[in-house]
Homo-oligomer: A and B are copies of this chain.
């Protein structure tokens, strides 16, 4: 009758500072990770509360201790994924100087970040268009904001200083869309072909260069 209740998969370290809050946050994290793991080859909307809970190692009803619905979890996932994206862009912002350097460095950090946080980027690109409801709305908002920031950044380059805000925004959106397309190709690499990533990176550089070369000849209408 005792039958110790088995605890969620927290790997017991010999010295565990398991304050109660931390344990809660740990299973919350487990839920997020579980959802991300299951969303690898399915739409987020296709996940069920029950299986996410099971994958996280808790019983379905315990899910509600952390999120009030799957949509709620989805939004939390968006925030987490966008944090990945922002730390990436912060790193990419460091690079100075010429367009070509900026392009090469940006594509490099893009690829390495996608490789390191594949699940996050897969989630973002897939749910951006494919998503529905609150999740897609959250991504759309975040991505719009992201585009605005990029537009400001672009305005600092020579040749773009006197562009109108609208034109800068247009260019930023083009870049974001193109690079999200690249991200999608990166996370969808199926073949273990080793240079597939480098080919995609080369394509990304070319696309960015084509856009940037256009700046010289631009005149707004």
On A, residues with C-beta under 8 Å from B are: 41-43, 45-46, 125-132, 167, 170-171, 173-174, 177-178, 181, 184, 203, 206-207, 209-218, 221
Contacts and interface: CB of A to CB of B under 8 A. Distances in A.
B132 A129 contact: no
Contacts of A41: 132
Nearest to A204: B170
A130 B127 CA distance: 6
Contact of A206 (B46, B167, B207, B210): B167
Given A46-B43, A126-B130, A178-B178, A210 B203 contact: no
Nearest to A219: B213
A133 B219 CA distance: 44
Nearest to A212: B214
A207 B170 contact: yes
Nearest to A206: B170
Instruction: Count the copies.
Output: 2
Q: Which of A214, A216, A217 has the most CB of B within 10 A?
A: A214
15 contacts: A43-B46, A43-B130, A46-B46, A125-B129, A130-B130, A170-B203, A170-B206, A171-B210, A206-B221, A210-B211, A210-B214, A210-B218, A211-B214, A214-B214, A217-B217
A84 B129 CA distance: 20
A28 to B, nearest CB: 26
Contacts of A213: 214, 217-218
Given A43-B45, A45-B46, A46-B45, A217 B216 contact: yes
A201 to B, nearest CB: 12
Given A46-B132, A126-B130, 13 more contacts: A42-B132, A43-B43, A126-B129, A129-B129, A129-B130, A130-B131, A177-B178, A209-B214, A209-B221, A210-B215, A210-B218, A211-B214, A214-B217
A52 to B, nearest CB: 16
Contacts of A209: 214, 221
List the 8 closest A-B pairs by CB distance, nearest first. Answer: A130-B130, A214-B214, A177-B181, A213-B214, A213-B217, A210-B214, A129-B129, A174-B207
